[in-house]
Amino acid sequence: MPPNTSHDMSSTNAQTAQFRQRDPAAAPRLLLALTFLLLLWPGLHYSELDLSVLFDSDSSSAMGALLGNAWPPAHDQAFLELLWHSTLETLAIAIAGIALALPVALLAALLATRALSRAALHQNGSPALAGRLLRWPLRALLILLRSVPEIVWALLLVRAVGLGPSAGVLAIAISYSGMLGKVFMEIFESVDQRPARALVGAGAPRLMAFLYGILPNAAAEMLSYTVYRWECALRASVVMGFVGAGGLGQQLELSLRMFAGDEVLTILLVFLLLVLLADQLSRLLRKRLV
């Protein structure tokens, strides 16, 4: 037996011994899993989970009544006319809401952005203290507007301006001006800053610096994001109807309350179709505009 074989053997043994060492990630993983389980236990208590209700929906229960007359979907003339009107209303709420949000968002983004700061030219891109202090409350306002969910705005506004689509339009306008404003501001600050800086440095008014230095680079992204948000607003306006803000959602809520399963089914089908069409349209628009 040559002497180097035993040497090889011992080194393989050392290697297997090394492999048998415990998994270094075992302790943190175990700890994480235990924390999860500990957190989930009260979650199970608070959520009062009971899956069995899904399966014992006999015909005496509300769900049974709803499912019982769900087929065929409602298709009488009067209901379809009503549905057509609600669908148009939903579409119009989304469009008008975004149209109201857009100018507010643009103005807020222009005021809050750092990209057009004169002082930033000489100070390595950081604006003057006064400018920062003035921009801060505006940024906070934008955060507040978009952090309250749109349906909460709708609920508040239904009580302020009354039931109907105007509450929905205002709710979308308020929360989406916050969202669009923040994103516009970020787009202004993320495009190439050199044209705008050159213009500001050469003494151009800041609105001109924006129009000629920033807007050409930012317009495509801004449009594409706005169209995407319109699609979101369409979905949101359907949901907002549930608190009385008009459109398909309000119709759906009424039909649900009357246990009219066939109407619920028709409305859901129309809603799915609407979302699908909006998705296609928004894809087409984004491709053409960008």
Partner 1 sequence: MKRVPQTPRPPLRAAGILILLALMVAVVAAIRFLALDFSGVMEPVSLQQMREYFVQFLQPDLTASHLQAIGNAALETLGMSAIGTLLAAVFGVCLSLPAAGYFGRVAQHCARGLLNILRAIPELVWAALMVLAAGLGPNAGTLALALHTTGVLGRLFAETLENTPTGPADALRGSGGSRITAFCYGTLPTLWPQWLAYTLYRWENNIRMSSVLGFVGAGGLGQMLYIHLSLFQQAQAASVILTMLLLVFAVDSLSLWLRQRYLAR
Instruction: Examine residue 115 and tell whether it contacts partner 1 (CB under 8 A).
Output: no
Q: Which stretch binds partner 1 (CB under 8 A): 5-13, 112-120, 130-138, 159-167?
A: 159-167
Give the residue with the Cβ less far from partner 1, 127 or 246: 246
**Binding residue for partner 1 (CB under 8 A) from 33, 62, 80, 134?**
62
CB of 166 to partner 1, least distance (A): 6
Which residue, 115 or 264, is less far from partner 1 as judged by CB? 264
Choose, by CB under 8 A, the member of 161, 204, 232, 254 that binds partner 1: 161
Residue by residue, what is the 3-state secondary structure of the chain? CCHHHHHHHHHHHHHHHHHCCCCCCHHHHHHHHHHHHHHHHHHHHHHCCCHHHHCCCCCCCHHHHHHHCCCCCCCCHHHHHHHHHHHHHHHHHHHHHHHHHHHHHHHHHHHHCCCCCCHHHCCCCCCCHHHHHHHHHHHHHHHHHHHCCHHHHHHHHHHHHCCCHHHHHHHHHHHHHHHHHHHHHHHHHHCCCHHHHHHHHCCCCHHHHHHHHHHHHHHHHHHHHHHHHHHHHHHHHHHHHHHCCCCHHHHHHHHHHCCCHHHHHHHHHHHHHHHHHHHHHHHHHHHHHC
Which one of 14, 43, 192, 208 is in contact with partner 1 (CB under 8 A)? 43
Q: Does 277 bind partner 1 (CB under 8 A)?
A: no
Q: Does 95 bind partner 1 (CB under 8 A)?
A: yes
Q: Which of 139, 225, 235, 254 binds partner 1 (CB under 8 A)?
A: 235
Count the neighbouring beta carbons within 10 Å of the beta carbon of residue 81.
10
**Does the protein bind partner 1 through residue 232 (CB under 8 A)?**
no
Which range in 12-20, 115-123, 142-150, 194-202 contacts partner 1 by CB under 8 A? 142-150
Query: Which of these segments, 108-116, 147-155, 191-199, 205-213, binds partner 1 (CB under 8 A)?
Result: 147-155
68, 272, 277, 280: which one binds partner 1 (CB under 8 A): 272
Neighbouring residues of 71: CB distance < 8 A, sequence distance ≥ 6: 261, 262, 265
Shortest separation between residue 184's beta carbon and partner 1, angstroms? 18
| Residue ranges in contact with partner 1 by CB under 8 A | 39-40, 42-51, 53-54, 57, 61-63, 66, 88-89, 91-93, 95-96, 99, 144, 147-149, 151-152, 155-156, 159-161, 165-166, 169, 235, 238-239, 242-243, 252-253, 256, 268, 271-272, 275, 285, 288-289
